[in-house]
Amino acid sequence: MTGPLRRFRALPLRSRLAILVATAVAVAVAAVALACWLTTRDRLIEQLDSSLRQVNVDRLDVENLNTACLQGVPQDNNPGGPEIPYTIQVVTPTSTKPCTWPATKSAIPVQSADRAVAAGERQDAVHTTEAKDGVKMRVYTSVVHIGPLVRPGLAVSVALPMEQVTAPLNQLAVVLLMVSGIGVIGAGAAGLWVARAALRPVDELTEAVEHVARTEDLTLRIPVEGEDEIARLSRSFNSMTASLATSRDRQAQLIADAGHELRTPLTSLRTNVELLARSDETGRPIPPDDRKALMKSVTAQMTELAALIGDLQELARPDAAQPGPLQVVGLHDIASTALERVRLRGPELTITADLEPWYVRAEPAALERAVVNVLDNAVKFSPQHGTIAVALYGGELTVLDQGPGIPAEELPYVFERFWRSPSARQLPGSGLGLSIVARTVHQAGGEIVLRPAPTGGTEASIRLPGAPQPPPENP
C-alpha cells in the first residue's frame, strides 16, 4: 500500500486531482448503478410474485392430479388450448417425488416450506429454487380450497422461470456498465480540464517565483482576478515582493547612508592622524596648542564613530523589529536616571524636572536609551547657559529646549534614518537617534511628536499608555 501511495504522491498535482475526481465519480456512479439495479430487481421479483399469486389453483382438479400422479399417469398440457406457461405441482406433507403438471415441465424439488404449507402450518410460501433441468424457478406454494374450506393435506406450487427477471436485469447491467464507463471517462477528462484551469494561476505564481529566484527581480507582479483563494494568494505574493523590494531598497539606502556618514569622520580622523605621523617622521614638532587641538579632534571623531557604529548595530539587530521582554517600569524613574546622565554632558545648562509617577509596560533598557537620546538632542541644540525643562504629567513626557528650533518643512523627516537638518550637519551625531527613539516608543504602544515650542526652541513629547499606580502584581 505504501508503494502505490508513494507513486500517487509523485504524480503532478493536476494528475492527482483528475484521478481523485474520476475515482469520486466512479464511486458515486457505481453506488447509483447498484441502487438502480437492486431496486429494479426487487420490483421485477415483486411483479413475478404477483403474477404467481394471481393463478387460480382452486379451479384445478387437485385430487385427480394427485391420484394420476401417484399412479404414474402423465397429464397433458391443456389439450386443445394454448400451452400453459406455469409449472404446477401437487405437494403433500410427505412429498418426496414431486407431482408436476403438465408432464412436459421439469420437476421442481419440494422444499420444507412447501411441505409446511401442505401440512397446514402456514398459508403460503415463496422461494427461488432450481428445477431438475437446471433452470432457476420462482415458486409460490399455497393451500387448496374446496369451496370455502381448505383441503387438508394438499398444497399447490405454481412456478415461473426466473429468466423473466434475470434477462431484463442483465440488459440493465450492461447499460449501466456502459453508462458508468462513459461517465468515469468523462469525469476523468473533466477533472483534468478543471485541474488545469484551476491550477493555471498556481502555474503563473510558480513561474513568477522561479523568475524572482532566477533574476532577483522584485518588481514582478501577478494580475489579481476575483476574490477567491487564488486571488488572495496572488495578492499575498504581490505584497510579499513589494515588502521585499522595499526592504532591499531600505538596506541599500542604509548602506549608502552609513557609508556617507562614516566617510566624513573617517576622512577627518585620517587627516589628523597623518598630520601627527608626518610630524613624527619629519621631526618637525607641532605646537603644543595645535597638537592638543588635534588630539581633541581625534578623540571627538573616535567618539562620533563609536556612537555611529553603536547606532548601526542597534538598527541591524535581528530582533530590532521585535521588542524585548516587557516589564512594568516607572517612566518617572527612567526619566530621573536619564537626567542624571545628561546633566554630566551639559553642566553649564540649567535642567529642571517635574516628574509625576507614571508606570508603563516597556523594555527598560530600550526606553531609557530613547529618553537619553531625546535629552541629548535638547542638550546638543541648547545655547550655552540655556534652560531645558522636563515634565511628566498624565503619561506625557515633554522636553522643552531653547535651541534654534526645527523649521516646519523639516518636521516630517526628523524620524528618518540618517536625516539631519542642514543647519545641524556641523554638529556631532549620526542622524539615527530619533529613528531609534521613534521605534522604541511605537513598540511600547506610544507616540512621539516634535513641534516648535511657543517660546522658541523645540518641544519633544512622548506619550505612553500606563497608569499612575503600578498593577498589584508589580508593587
Of 36-40, 88-92, 130-134, 452-456, the least confident: 452-456
73 pLDDT higher than 70: no
pLDDT-derived band of residue 138, with 50, 70 and 90 as boundaries?
very high
CA–CA separation, 359 and 329 (whole Å): 5
74 pLDDT higher than 70: no
* pLDDT value at residue 319: 47
Assess contact for 177 and 26: CB atoms under 8 A: no
Nearest to 349 by CA among 398, 395, 400, 314: 400
* pLDDT value at residue 359: 92
143 pLDDT higher than 80: yes
Looking at the chain, the whole-number percentage of residues with pLDDT higher than 70 is 79
pTM over 0.75: no
Surface-to-core class of residue 446, CB atoms within 10 Å of its CB (0-12 exposed, 13-18 middle, 19+ buried): buried
The structural domains of the chain, ordered by start, are: 12-75+86-211 (no CATH), 229-316 (1.10.287.130), 327-467 (3.30.565.10)
269 pLDDT higher than 70: yes
Cell 532566477 belongs to residue: 214
pLDDT per residue over 446-470, tens digit each? 898 888 887 778 888 999 998 888 8
Average pLDDT over residues 189-216: 77
Assess contact for 135 and 163: CB atoms under 8 A: yes
* Most confident of the following: 92-106, 168-182, 264-278: 168-182
Name which residue leads in pLDDT, 126 or 275: 126
CA–CA separation, 207 and 315 (whole Å): 35
322 pLDDT higher than 60: no
Nearest to 361 by CA among 458, 446, 460: 446
* pLDDT value at residue 146: 65
pLDDT-derived band of residue 423, with 50, 70 and 90 as boundaries?
low
Residue-averaged pLDDT of the chain: 78
86 pLDDT higher than 70: yes
Of 24-28, 153-157, 177-181, 321-325, the least confident: 321-325
**CA end-to-end distance (rounded Å), the chain:** 64
Assess contact for 137 and 113: CB atoms under 8 A: no
254 pLDDT higher than 90: no
**Strand bridging mode 124-130 / 99-101:** unpaired
Task: Take residue 127 and report the three cell numbers written for it.
Answer: 422461494
3 pLDDT higher than 70: no
Assess contact for 130 and 136: CB atoms under 8 A: yes
* Most confident of the following: 90-94, 312-316, 332-336, 408-412: 332-336
* pLDDT value at residue 97: 65
* pLDDT value at residue 391: 92
pLDDT per residue over 344-387, tens digit each? 766 788 888 889 999 998 888 788 888 888 888 888 888 888 88
pLDDT-derived band of residue 90, with 50, 70 and 90 as boundaries?
confident
* pLDDT value at residue 82: 47
Average pLDDT over residues 4-15: 72
Q: Which value, to the nearest 10 degrees, does the dihedral of the CA atoms of residues 240, 241, 244, 248 take?
A: -170
* pLDDT value at residue 274: 81
Name which residue leads in pLDDT, 408 or 131: 131
Distances (CA, A) of 350 to 89, 370, 403, 420: 131, 21, 13, 26
335 pLDDT higher than 80: yes
Average pLDDT over residues 75-87: 56
203 pLDDT higher than 60: yes
402 pLDDT higher than 80: yes
Average pLDDT over residues 276-294: 79
Q: In 317-447, where does DSSP find H-type helix?
A: 331-343, 364-381, 433-443
* pLDDT value at residue 44: 92
Average pLDDT over residues 5-29: 77
* pLDDT value at residue 451: 85
